[in-house]
Every structure is written in structure tokens, then in C-alpha cells.
Amino acid sequence: MRQVYLDYSATTPVKEEVLSAMLPYFTEKFGNPSSLYSQGLEAKAALDQARAQVAKLIHADPKEIYFTGCGSEADNWAVFGAAQALKDKGNHIITTRIEHHAMLHSCAFLEKNGYEVTYLDVQPDGLVDPAELEKAITDKTILISVMMVNNEVGTVEPIKELAAIAKKHGILFHTDAVQALANVPIDVKDLGVDLMSMSAHKIYGPKGVGALYMRKGLRIANYLHGGAQEMGRRAGTENLASIIGFGKAAELAEANMEKHISHCKELRDYLIERVTSEIPDTFVNGTMEHRHPGNANITFKYIEGESILLLLDYKGIAVSTGSACSSKSLEPSHVLTALGVPVEMIHGTVRFTVGDFTTKEDIDYVIESLKEIVAKLRALSPVNGEKGW
Ligand SMILES: *Cc1c(COP(=O)(O)O)cnc(C)c1O
């Protein structure tokens, strides 16, 4: 059976070149970067090279890149590190309703510990209104965190404008760029962000490694305490092989960015065009204008996204509903809720995300399968057409 993977926003396969770069670091190049003899020095040099590769992808200085255990850790570190370091200045944090759970649950934890958090609404197209951010700022605000690209609907937020507002008020600005990395060009200096989270497994690197960009001169509280790794800011012997893989993935992403973006956009637009024109009662969520090149978030009225997912899985096709994390529960997606999508339509929503290994034939197969599945489910659906939604 044909296998079609359309869930690149959940994770990506490790590219061949990335794996070959990593392998020697499990075996013959197993040295600890903190050791002072040759093997250690070689490991340290490889670590520095990976740091430079990640830095180059976002136009940062290598000294501004701190490797972490994942994108979630980078988000946690940014929020808790800033909250701790600035607790004498204030206790108010501003974020949005559409953030990843790594951010939302960190903020919820802080709320239980004396901090106040404002969750900004988004407009129906999924974008944050900069005027709303400005209104939410108080003299107690110490951190603003807005994600660069949303993982469910793919909206690309106006980070440069939002960061400028933070700067005007002397407030730290963090952005979760896990979905943005390699999918939109990023220049941290031009954007004016202070802190930025990244993850390797969303850009064809290995799982279990991420990074936090921290602007030169900025100091937030450390999150992992122990040895002097990561310039004394993040303890623990480095996950060297994975970090090497992250570096290689970043190098490839930089070299292939234009090709990657146009390839994804072409297939994504083809998928959206065919679904919305050939399957009645379907619509796309989130702005098309400022959007992740591979994201198609589509509602199929009158049916359950979970049923579509399962029937697609029988045909070898992998997609997700709402967000990957909430797909095991019946909780409607917090992102689609924030966009104002009615709850019954949220349940009929599927996220398709294409990537470098997706082909036009894959999309044709998905469309043919979808047409059959949607017709079958709608024929069974008791609410088909009757409720007027
Ligand atoms: C995947 C993802 C994360 C978490 O990254 P991990 O490396 O899986 O912990 C955080 N934020 C966004 C937007 C993501 O898509």
C-alpha cells in the first residue's frame, strides 16, 4: 500500500546527510566536549561548528545559541528564566491564546505561583493585533511571548512589529519559532527579538534536541543547574550526536530554503485547491496571506475529523486533527476556538502538512481517498445538512 506522510508539522524524518553526520559521534568520536585531551577537543570543535550552523540559519552570533533538550525546554527556560530574573521588576506576562502547550502550561504554572498572565485573543484569520498587545502592557509587564508560526493553522505572526512594541516599553520579547525555523526566513537582529525557541526534529533533524537563542548581553535565570556546559547556562553533558545532527539540518535548511518553500507551497496550494473545489462544504482556517508554506488546515462540515483520520490511516495516509497533542482527547483545539471556529466545525477539522519528500502523486492519492471517505462518512452522518452548519 502507498504510504503518504502529511504530518510534517508533528515531526520530520531525519535526512540521510544528517544521519551520516551524526553516526560517528556515537562510536569512534564519542569524546566528552569538556575533556581536555584530543578526543574532548575534537568533540568541542564539532559542538562549536554545530552552534555556528544553527546561528547562521537565524543570522545570530554562535555565542547566542544555547542547546537544549527540545523545543519545549527552550520555551520553559525562556518563560521561567525571565520570570525568575525579573521578579523584582514585575509579575505580569503577556502571551496569546494560540501558543503551543509548552508555553501555555508554563504560563499556567506561573499563574499558580503569583504571576499574572494576559492571553491575547487573535483575529478570525489567526493573527495577533499589535494594538491589542500595546493595550495589554502594564508597568508590571516583564515578558511578552508570541509564537512566530502557529503549529495548527500555520499563521505567521507580525513578530517584527510586536517586538518593536515590546522594545519601546523596555520589555523582553520571546518568540517560539519551532514551526518557523527553515519555513520562513529568520533574521533575529532584524526582527528585534530577545529570546527565541527552536527544535531540530521539525527541520529534518533528530528528536530530543532544541535551542534557545538569547540576545548577546541578556541574562535570564538558568534552568538546569550543574556543570559549566553551554557557556555556564545549561548544565548536562551535551547530546553531541543530536546536536551535530541539528547543525547539519540547519545547514541544509539554509542552503535549500527557497527550494523547500516553493516546493511546499506548490503542493499545499494544489491540495487546498482540489479539496475545496472537489469536496463540497469544506473551508480553510487561518489567513492564506501570512502562512507556513506547508500548512493546510481544512474543515469538512458535518463529519468528525477523527473518523477521517482513521479512514485515511487505513489507506496509509498520516494526518492530524486539530493539534497533535489534543488529538487523543475530545477537547476542541484551543487554537481553532481562539479563531472563533464553532465547536462542531472544529471536530470536523484536519491538518495536512506537506514537506520535502511529498510528491504531486501523493496529493492525488490523498484527494481520491478523501473524496471517497468524506462521501461515505457524510452518507452515515445523522446531522448531514440538517443543522444548517
Ligand atoms: C513541536 C513544537 C514545540 C515543541 O518542540 P519539541 O522539540 O517537540 O519539544 C514547541 N512549539 C511549537 C510551535 C511546536 O510546533
Whether 53 is in a domain gets the answer yes
Amino acid type, 316: G
342 C-alpha to center of ligand 1: Å? 26
Same domain, 59 and 161: yes
Residue 295 has pLDDT above 90, yes or no: yes
Ordered DSSP codes for 141-203: EEEEE--SB-TTT-BB--HHHHHHHHHHTT-EEEEE-TTTTTTS---HHHHT-SEEEEESTTT
Q: Is the residue at 387 inside a domain?
A: no
Looking at 190, 220, 252, the residue that finishes a domain is 252
* pLDDT-above-90 percentage for the chain: 95
pLDDT at site 328: 57
Contact 260 CB / ligand 1 (< 6 Å) = no
Q: Is 118 in the same domain as 244? A: yes
Q: Are residues 235 and 308 in the same domain?
A: no
User: Is 95 in the same domain as 236?
Assistant: yes
> Do 270 and 127 belong to one domain?
no
Question: Do 241 and 303 fall into the same domain?
Answer: no
279 is written with which cell numbers?
469536496
Q: Where are the alpha helices (DSSP H) in the chain?
A: 16-22, 38-57, 71-85, 101-111, 130-136, 159-168, 188-191, 229-232, 240-278, 305-314, 334-338, 343-346, 360-380
Q: Is the pLDDT of residue 103 over 70?
A: yes
φ, ψ dihedrals at 357, nearest 5°: -95, 5
What grid cell was written down for 199? 527544535
Are 294 and 183 in a shared domain?
A: no
Q: Is the Cβ–Cβ distance between 152 and 288 less than 8 Å?
A: no
Convert the pLDDT of each residue in 80-96 to its tens digit.
999 999 999 999 999 99
pLDDT above 80 (res 387): no
SS3 38: helix
Catalytic residues, by residue number, are 325
Residues 148, 282 share a domain: no
In short, whether 210's Cβ falls inside 6 Å of ligand 1 is yes
Has this prediction a pTM greater than 0.85? yes
What is the extent of the structural domain holding 335? 4-11+257-380
Question: Is residue 180 located within the same domain as residue 282?
Answer: no
Angle, alpha carbons 139-144-145 (nearest 5°): 165
pLDDT tens readout for residues 60-85: 999 999 999 999 999 999 999 999 99
pLDDT of residue 231: 97
Distance in Å, CA 178 to ligand 1 centroid: 6
Contacts of 28 (CB under 8 A, 6+ apart): none
- Ligand 1 pocket check for 176: Cβ under 6 Å: yes
Would 66 be classed as within a structural domain? yes
199 lines ligand 1 (CB under 6 A): yes
Average pLDDT, the chain: 96
Residue 270 lies in a domain: yes
Do 247 and 344 lie in one domain? The reply is no
Same domain, 136 and 163: yes
Confidence (pLDDT) at 382: 72
pLDDT in tens, 354-363: 999 999 999 9
In a domain, 362, yes or no: yes
Ligand 1 centroid, distance to 151 Cα (angstroms): 8
Q: Domain total for the chain?
A: 2
Residue 98 domain flag: yes
Domain boundary residue among 223, 252, 281? Answer: 252
Mean pLDDT of 232-246: 98
Q: How do residues 210-232 score in pLDDT, each as one tens digit?
A: 999 999 999 999 999 999 999 99
Tens of pLDDT, residue by residue over 149-181, are 999 999 999 999 999 999 999 999 999 999 999
For a pocket test of ligand 1, which of 96, 175, 179, 292 has the largest count of ligand atoms closer than 8 A to its C-beta? 179
CATH number at residue 290: 3.90.1150.10
Q: How far apart are CA 135 and CA 140, in angstroms?
A: 13
Within-domain flag for 82: yes
pLDDT of 304-332, one tens digit each? 999 999 999 999 999 999 644 445 567 89
For residue 198, tell me if it sits in a domain.
Answer: yes
Same-domain check for residues 160 and 264: no
The DSSP letter of residue 1 is -
pLDDT exceeds cutoff 60 at 389: no
CATH number for the domain harbouring residue 207: 3.40.640.10
CB 365, CB 3: distance < 8 Å: no
Classify the C-alpha dihedral 37-42-43-49 as positive or negative. positive
What does the alpha-carbon distance between residue 285 and residue 279 come to, in Å, rounded to a whole number? Answer: 16
Instruction: Give the domain-ending residue among 203, 220, 252.
Output: 252
